Structure 1
């Protein structure tokens, strides 16, 4: 075997073990008994120790020094393995294992604190997570910016300063659009209750409508919906509310966007660095375009309205036009995952600024709740009513995902670029969506984005697919057109 062959064989085993570790995380969120949390933390720590040892193993460096690429795919494989190897060798093995153990335990403590509306029960373990992540960030940054080092885990090549510049460009137009919309009358919403089993049945149907292969996946329930896995085993979760079926519907479509990306990657890349989404920003571009530009379009909601009437009977909305307005209603609210397209990125900006301050040391964990509440009041104009609607609403910080939040907005920006190109490439898209057929859209995304996996750098894959340098302008233009039409601005 050549050095390249030996390196790839070793990498495939490492990737397989990482998939097993991911399955432990999926189980923790869906099936695991609550009393197993502490033991699961030990198990996750042990798995991370093994993975870290493999990623930083001396023989990986030796193979990298000798391996020769025979083409662009080989070169991309070596690029990603080298990047992971260099990052793994900057982080001490004991620290990596401790982070895995503590964040696994913190996740359970966050869930309990959220259920009890008790911030004080969560802050001590969050303080420990923040300290550990700052230590990891310092090791990765090697004298540079801690937050940039963390962001690089999720969006390689992007810095906090670049994200801040993007947000500065987005904020004025979003704030102006929100102000104009909120002066207009609100559309009516759904009434009555919606059977959970029927919601889950519709969830499964919608997953398949959007191209999710259930022979290589499954749908379960979780407090915070997520997608997990890659290749031949890609799982999603959703959640239900007896009075709000849109929660289940759009959580499902969103997570199918993530899962569709993973299922759409070239199978030749399975269990290699290229066999997964290249970044969380690109991943979010898929989930957000599935959920919003496709799933909340006038054409698709017309089809969805008829299906809901068939499944649930009358639910207080008179026709497809009223349903489209209800699905896209701009409302005051606390929850990021339930936010409308106009306000969603404002929720991300809040989290971005707070987590940067936590990582820099400018904000203490003990002051987080007050800082969140003050910022929310300033940005949205009304006070947080309880912790589960405030700093306890998201799972991300409990599991150490600092640097993740801005990729949601970056994904929205990428989705705006892709949507513009999609409309040009599939001129009869609305006719297809009105018939409940998303294959034109999802097929184009699979061919232009998903199949490449990690072959190209994040911005490169978006630029190749959309034919433009990524910019926030297409997203903002789309939002202004859509909501000016909806609210007769």
Structure 2
């Protein structure tokens, strides 16, 4: 057996074990009994210990030194294994285990605190999570920026500084657009109650319309919708709100974007470093283009309007044009996942700045709620009314996912680039979308991006698909045109 084949055989088993760990996380958020939390934390810790030992096995270094790459797939596999090995080798085994156990416990504490609107009940556990991730970041950074070390887990090659510059460019044009829109008459909103069974039935129809293959997946409910898994087992979750079915429908479409990426990857990459999405930014590009540029387009919402009439009867919106305005309604709100396209990135910018301050030590956990509330009031012009609409709304920090939030806006930027290229490649796209047929759009994305998995670096993945370097310009142009037309600015 050559060094490369030995390396890949070992790596395949490691990825299989990582999938099992992911399935434990899926179960914890969907079906696990409440009383199982302490035991699940031990299970997560045990698996994390095994995975860390495998990822730092000295034989990996020997195999990497001896391995020869005969094609671009081997080159990419070696690149990704080398990156993972270098990172894991800097993290002490006991720290990796403790992070897994603590974040598993913290998730349940967060969920209960959110229900009870009790920030004080969550902060001590969050303080432990932040301390552990700071320790990990310092170990990985080796003298460079600790936040960048954490960011690299989700967007290799990115830095807080470059993302901060991109976000400043977004803010420069988004804030005036938001302000101009909010001075205009607000479109009508939904005012009737939508039963859960009807929401879930239409939600599944939407998932299938966007190409989700339930032979290799399933749809469940969760407090915070997410997608889990890769290859032959890719699961999604959604949630319902009797007064806001869009929460369910667009959460589903969003998570299908993630799942379609994983299901679309070339099967030859299964359980290899290339067998999952290359970064969370690229992953978000798929979920956001599915949800927004396709799912909230005038043509697709025309079809969705008919589906909602079939499912719920007359729900108070007169016609397709009014429904399109309702779906794309820009209005004040607290929740990031429910935010309109114009204001969504402003929610992400808030979190990005705060978590950078947390990891650097410039902000302490004890001051976090006040910092959040002050920043929200400054950015949005009104005050947080309760913790579940503020600091407790997102699951990410309880799970130690520092460095994850900026990839949401980076994904929006990537989606803007992809949408521009998609429209040029498929000029008659709206004809199909008006029939609920997304296959030309999703097929283009699978052909030009999804099938390649982790073959290329994140930015190269977007450049390969679009023929241009990623830029925030296409996203901003799309938003300004869409909402200027909609609000007659």
CA drift of 1:190 comes to 1.5
Instruction: Output aligned runs, 1:416-431, within 5 Å.
Output: 416-431=416-431
Partner of 1:168: 168
Question: What residue is the counterpart of 1:465 in the other structure?
Answer: 465
Cα distance, 1:243 vs. partner? 1.2
Matches within 5 A, 1:91-240: 91-240=91-240
Structure 1 residue 194: deviation in Å?
1.1
Partner Cα distance (1:137, 1:38) in 2: 26
**1 CA distance for matches of 2:379 and 2:414?**
24
Query: Helix, strand or coil: the match of 1:154?
Result: coil
Corresponding residue for 1:73?
A: 73
Partner of 1:283: 283
Task: State the match for 2:395 in structure 1.
Answer: 395
* 1:245-275 Cα shifts (integer Å, max 9, x gaps): 1000000000000000000000000000000
Q: Where does residue 256 of structure 1 map in the other structure?
A: 256
Secondary structure of 1:236's aligned partner:
strand
Distance in 2 separating the partners of 1:44 and 1:156 = 25
In structure 2, the residue matched to 1:40 is 40
After superposition, the C-alpha distances for 1:99-152 in whole angstroms (9 at most, x for unaligned) are 000000000000000000000000000000000000000000001100000001
CA distance in 2 between partners of 1:345 and 1:21 (Å) = 31
Q: Distance in 2 between matches of 1:193 and 1:6?
A: 58
Q: Which runs of 5+ in 2 are unaligned?
A: none
Instruction: Kindly state the Cα deviation for residue 341 of structure 1 after the two structures are TM-superposed.
Output: 0.3
Superposed displacement of residue 198, structure 1: 1.4
Q: Which runs of structure 1 show a deviation greater than 6 angstroms over 4 or more consecutive aligned residues?
A: none
Q: How does 1:321-360 map to 2 (within 5 A)?
A: 321-360=321-360
Query: Residue 376 of structure 1 aligns with which residue?
Result: 376
Aligned twin of 1:53: 53
Structure 1 gap ranges (5+)? none
**What secondary structure sits across from 1:393 in the alignment?**
coil
Q: Which residue does 1:31 correspond to in 2? A: 31
The residue number in structure 1 matching 2:273 is 273
Partner residue, 1:363: 363
SS in structure 2 opposite 1:345? helix
Distance in 1 (alpha carbons) for counterparts of 2:37 and 2:186:
44
In the alignment, the residues of structure 2 paired with residue 80 and residue 245 of structure 1 have an alpha-carbon distance, to the nearest angstrom, of: 40
CA distance in 2, matches of 1:364, 1:14: 36
Q: Distance in 1 between matches of 2:435 and 2:137?
A: 49
Displacement of 1:192 after TM fit? 1.5
2:438 matched residue in structure 1? 438
Query: 2-side partners of 1:37 and 1:395: how far apart?
Result: 16
Measured after TM superposition, the shift of residue 59 of structure 1 is: 0.9
Deviations 1:270-301 (A, max 9, x none): 00000000000000000000000000000000
The Cα of 1:480 is off from its aligned counterpart by 0.3
Confirm or deny that 1:313 pairs with 2:313: yes
Distance 2:487 2:117 in 1: 36
Size of the aligned set, in residue pairs, is 489
Q: Deviations over 1:434-464 (max 9, x none)?
A: 0110000000000111000000000001011
Secondary structure in structure 2 of the residue aligned to 1:384: coil
1:349 and 1:245 map into 2 onto residues whose CA distance is: 27
- Distance in 2 (CA, whole Å) between partners of 1:313 and 1:186 is 24
Partner Cα distance (2:154, 2:272) in 1: 17
Q: State the Cα RMSD in Å.
A: 0.5
Residue 272 of structure 1 aligns to a residue whose secondary structure is: coil
1:86 is matched with which residue?
A: 86
Residue 191 (structure 1) shift: 2.4
**Hey, what's the Cα distance between the residues in 2 that align with 1:272 and 1:441?**
27
Shift of 1:303: 0.3
Q: Is 1:63 the counterpart of 2:35 in the alignment?
A: no
| Structure 2 Cα separation of the partners of residues 110 and 437 of structure 1 | 39
**Does the residue aligned with 1:237 lie in a helix, a strand or coil?**
strand
Q: CA deviation at 1:466?
A: 1.0
Distance 1:218 1:198 in 2: 18
Determine if the alignment matches structure 1 residue 297 to structure 2 residue 297: yes
